[in-house]
Amino acid sequence: MNTDARALATANLPPAAPALARQHYADSEAWRRYQPFFPAAMRCTPSTTPVEEWWSWRGLDVHLDRSAVPSSPLKVIVLHGAGAYGRVMAPAAVLASQHGFETVCPDLPGYGLTRVPSEQFVYPLWVDCISDLIDAELARDGRPVVLFGVSLGGLLAYHAAARSRRVVGVVATTLADMREPAVRQGFARTPLLGNAGLWLLQQLHGVTDGLPLPMRYMSKMNRISNKPELARLCETDPLGGGNWVPARFLRTLVETAPDIEPEDFEVCPVLLTHPGVDRMTEISLSRRFFDRLACPKRMVVLEGASHMPTEHPGVDQLERAVLDFVGAIAAETRT
C-alpha cells in the first residue's frame, strides 16, 4: 500500500479509544468519609496513609496500598470483601504499622480503582489474583506472608492460601462456605434470592452471566455495620458496597470449591475473629467451616462488634488477637 492509500485508509478508521487514566485515592475524598467511624488510633493521617502502587497483572492494573515497614519480619496482605475496597482497609494497615508489621491492601478486580472487563469478572479471578500476589510479594523480598480477610475476604483468604500453599497464617473475620444452601440464604438480601434467585443464575448462566446486578440489593449490605450511617455509606459507595457486578461473579462465587477442603487443610494456622453482633453473616455459619479445619486454629468472638468491626470492645479484642497471632508466627519464622 502506498503512502497516500495508507493515509486514506487510516483517515476512515474510527478514532482509537483513549486509554483509561489511572485514578488515585490521593485525589479522592470518598474514602475519607469512613475515617470518623474508626477508633482514633486507626485513622489515616498524612504520615500514616498507605502509599499507592500499581501492580501489572494479566493485563490489569491492580491498585495496591502499601504501608512499608522495612524491619517487619513478615508481611500481611489485607483483603476486603464485597462491601469495601483496599483503602477502606487502611485502618488495619495503620494499626499494623504501629506494631512493626508491613501491610499490602489490594483493590480486588472490579472494586476500588482496579478495573476489569465484565466478561473476566468472576470470583476465581480474585483467588488467582491473591495467589499470584503472594508469589510476587515473596519474590520481592522473601518475607513470609500472612493473609487477613474481612467479610468475604475471609473466605478469599482461605481459598488463596489453599491455592498458594505458601502463606504462614490466615486471619478471617468470617469463614462461610458459599456452596452451602444455608450460607447462600444468609448472604442473600431475601430468602427468595438466596434460593430460587441464585439457582436461576446457575441454571440460566448462558443468558444471565452478563447481567449487571447491584450488590447492595443482592446481599445484606444494609447490615454490614450496626451503625446506620456507616452501613449507608458502605452500601452507596460505588467503589465498594454500591458497586454493580455481573451475575457471573455471584454465580461463580457460590460454585467455587477450594483447592483443599477444610478437613485436609494443614497449610498454616487459622485465626477466626467473628464479630459477636454480626447481622450480615450468622456466627454459626463461620463456626461450621471453622470446626472442619484440620490445621491449628483459634476462634475469638468480638464482643459488641458488627460485621464491619469498628465498635469497642470488639475492635480492641480484634487488635489483640491478631497481634498475638501474627507475633507468634513472626517469632517462629525467626528461629
Q: pLDDT per residue over 37-90, tens digit each?
A: 999 999 999 999 999 999 999 999 999 999 999 999 999 999 999 999 999 999
CA 259 from chain centre, in angstroms, equals 18
Q: Name the pLDDT band for 92 (thresholds 50, 70, 90).
A: very high
Residue 18 has pLDDT above 60, yes or no: no
Query: What angle do the packed helices 152-164 and 123-141 form, to 10 degrees?
Result: 60
Backbone angles phi, psi at 5, to 5 degrees: -65, -40
Residue 282 has pLDDT above 90, yes or no: yes
State residue 260's pLDDT score: 98
What is the percent of the chain with per-residue pLDDT over 70, rounded to a whole number? 94
Which of the two residues, 15 and 200, has the higher pLDDT score?
200
Look up residue 156 and give its amino acid.
L
CB 258 within 8 A of CB 158: yes
CB 62 within 8 A of CB 69: no
What would the grid cell of residue 284 be?
454459626
Torsion angle in degrees (nearest 10) through CA of 320, 324, 325, 328: 170
State residue 8's pLDDT score: 31
How far is residue 16's CA from residue 190's CA, in Å, rounded to a whole number?
Answer: 44
Look up residue 184 and give its amino acid.
R
The pLDDT of 165-187, averaged and rounded, is: 93
Number of H helices, E strands in the chain: 13, 10
Residue matched to cell numbers 438466596: 194
State residue 335's pLDDT score: 67
State residue 323's pLDDT score: 97
Nearest Cα neighbor of 225 from 239, 243, 213, 240 is 240
State residue 20's pLDDT score: 57
β-bridge pairing 244-246 and 212-214: antiparallel
pLDDT in tens, 242-259: 999 999 999 999 999 999
CA atoms within 13 A on the CB side of 183: 19
Query: How many other CB atoms are found less than 10 A from the CB of residue 8?
Result: 11
Q: What is the DSSP letter of 194?
A: I
How far is residue 134's CA from residue 132's CA, in Å, rounded to a whole number?
Answer: 5
The 3-state DSSP class for residue 30 equals helix
Q: Name the pLDDT band for 207 (thresholds 50, 70, 90).
A: confident
pLDDT in tens, 217-230: 989 999 999 999 99
The pLDDT of 29-44, averaged and rounded, is: 95
How far is residue 7's CA from residue 60's CA, in Å, rounded to a whole number?
Answer: 33
Mean pLDDT of the chain, nearest integer: 91
CA atoms within 13 A on the CB side of 317: 19
Element (H, E) at 288: helix 283-292
Query: 51-334: what fold?
Result: Rossmann fold (3.40.50)
The 3-state DSSP class for residue 123 equals helix
State residue 184's pLDDT score: 85
The pLDDT of 265-277, averaged and rounded, is: 98
Element (H, E) at 289: helix 283-292
The 3-state DSSP class for residue 70 equals coil
Q: In what order do the strands lie in the sheet with 270-275?
A: 51-57, 60-67, 102-106, 75-79, 145-149, 169-172, 270-275, 297-302
pLDDT in tens, 309-323: 999 999 999 999 999
CB 218 within 8 A of CB 188: yes
